[in-house]
Amino acid sequence: MMPKTMDPEDVELLKLIADGTTHFRPVQDEPSNSPRWVGQVERLLRLRSQGLIRMPEPEKYDDRPGYAAGAGPCKLTADGRAALGRLDA
């Protein structure tokens, strides 16, 4: 289910993964429920649901609100590579 248009932040995440970033984490001392981190994990989950990346479910290590302290490993799928190629064309 490749999207017809992509948000620039989604494109940036795909490019980071294509360039070798496999794990994403909050910045130092950032809480697990910060808006920036929650938004990034939700984008990764959406890219996964669209079939553009492979990524296991982020693990929860405690009962605190928000997402886990990391997400990954992430890898582009064939559709993810095709989407980036289409954007670069």
pLDDT tens, 20-48? Answer: 999 998 888 888 888 998 899 999 999 99
**Which residue type is seen at 25?**
R
Q: 89 pLDDT exceeds 70?
A: no
Query: Residue 41: in which H helix or E strand, if any?
Result: helix 35-49
Banded pLDDT at 69 (limits 50, 70, 90) = confident
- pTM value is 0.87
Q: Which two tokens stand for residue 5?
A: 């248009």
Q: 74 pLDDT exceeds 90?
A: yes
Distance (Å, rounded) from C-alpha 35 to C-alpha 75?
24
Q: Pairing between strand 53-54 and 75-76?
A: antiparallel
Res 28: pLDDT: 83
**Which residue type is seen at 44?**
L
Banded pLDDT at 55 (limits 50, 70, 90) = very high
Q: Which CATH class is domain 8-88?
A: mainly alpha
